[in-house]
A = this chain, B = another copy of it.
Amino acid sequence: MKFELKATDPNSSARAGVMTTAHGDIQTPIFMPVGTAGTVKAVHQREIKEDINAQIILGNTYHLYLRPGLDILKKFGGLHKFNGWDRPILTDSGGYQVYSLAGIRKIKEEGVTFQSHIDGSKHHFSPETVMDIQRAIGADIMMAFDECTPYPCEYDYAKKSMEMTHRWLKRCCDRFDATQPLYGYDQTLFPIVQGSTYKDLRKQSAEVIASFERDGNAIGGLSVGEPHELMYESTELVCSILPKDKPRYLMGVGTPENILEGIALGVDMFDCVMPTRNARNGMLFTTQGVINIKNKKWEDDQTPIDEHLGGYVSTFYSKGYLRHLVHCKEMLGAQIASVHNLTFYLWLVKQAREQILAGTFLEWKNKMVKHLMQRL
């Protein structure tokens, strides 16, 4: 994988770049729609590509390992062939889901034993098996197996956990470097900075992670309930240490505001379930602000969902019709809102990129954060 910086904002740490992977280029900063079980929920692959203009999507290792399972993924020749998405894919390490979704689990130095949230069956993830699983999925970008600490987290636990994550990273790299891709194209591995919200731990972790000199680096353990200011402080600190010539990925973030602030701090990649999950609950992000489409005030509104955004669903369907669909729990409501919100997120990072290239990012960002987060 290559990363080329195209521009840096003169008034912030925002950067515009291009990542090159075996499945195509990615213009950064970028938002990655989450395709948990090999599907971005309620959205056709054609829509992800042609309406949303996504350049890379995310798959969840935990879910894909359980269903359809590695045998089937291997028979198909990897996730790209399985779901028909021929642009880049990033997979997480499965760690986050093991901690948040799975039943009884035991975290040991060797790895984690857990029970499937689907049928209670027992499974084991280790740095080595997680590398093997992501080889079988065939993600362009694989993530290291880490422990994502909750918030708040005791200092001692955060320190010990971070140190284990660093030891696990060594094992991930050893396994990754000792194995070959299964499907004839290159994969790469991103390590993850941890350390909770403790500055000394974050600094230490960022330095350790940077020392591995992988193709890109991620910031984990944030957006887990801490105040936004703490998230921004940790991100700023970590970005000041991670190498400038490699992409930085802030995991699980976030609202439009979080993303714009993250970009200002030097982050290049984001993912979050928010645009799709909130869509299914009737919350829309638009170029004019945030809409709860369930509200009665929208029931007779004949205007398009977002005429300024463009694209099929946002200009074809009216707010009143979408309100009716969501109110009636019709699937089409979730479908429309999901495509709309993702289109908005991809529009947002594209706008940010253009502002960075034009050298006008900071002022634009400060204006947009207020504008986009207002409730309509």
Contact = CB atoms under 8 A, between A and B. Distances in A.
A310 to B, nearest CB: 15
A330 B68 contact: no
Given A84-B316, A300-B75, A68 B332 contact: no
A328 B37 contact: yes
Contacts of A3: none
Contacts of A299: 68, 72
B67 A321 contact: no
A327 interface: yes
A41 B75 contact: no
Given A38-B325, A39-B330, A41-B332, 7 more contacts: A37-B328, A39-B332, A46-B312, A68-B327, A72-B300, A83-B321, A335-B335
A164 interface: no
A76 interface: yes
A335 B72 contact: no
B75 A321 contact: no
Contact of A330 (B41, B325, B332): B41
Interface residues of A, number: 40
Interface of A: 37-46, 67-68, 71-72, 75-76, 81-84, 299-300, 302, 312-313, 316-318, 320-321, 324-325, 327-328, 330-332, 334-336
Contacts of A44: 312-313, 332, 335-336
Contact of A316 (B45, B75, B312, B325): B45
A334 B300 CA distance: 29
B37 A330 contact: yes
Given A38-B321, A321-B83, A321-B84, A67 B332 contact: no
Nearest to A324: B68
A281 B43 CA distance: 19
A336 B46 CA distance: 12
B82 A321 contact: yes
A166 to B, nearest CB: 35
A75 B302 contact: yes
Given A299-B72, A302-B76, A324 B37 contact: yes
Contacts of A330: 37, 39, 41
Nearest to A37: B328
Contacts of A40: 332
A43 B324 contact: no
A47 to B, nearest CB: 9
Closest 9 CB pairs of A and B: A42-B331, A39-B332, A68-B324, A75-B300, A39-B330, A37-B328, A72-B300, A67-B328, A82-B321
A70 B299 CA distance: 12
Nearest to A312: B46
Contacts of A328: 37, 67
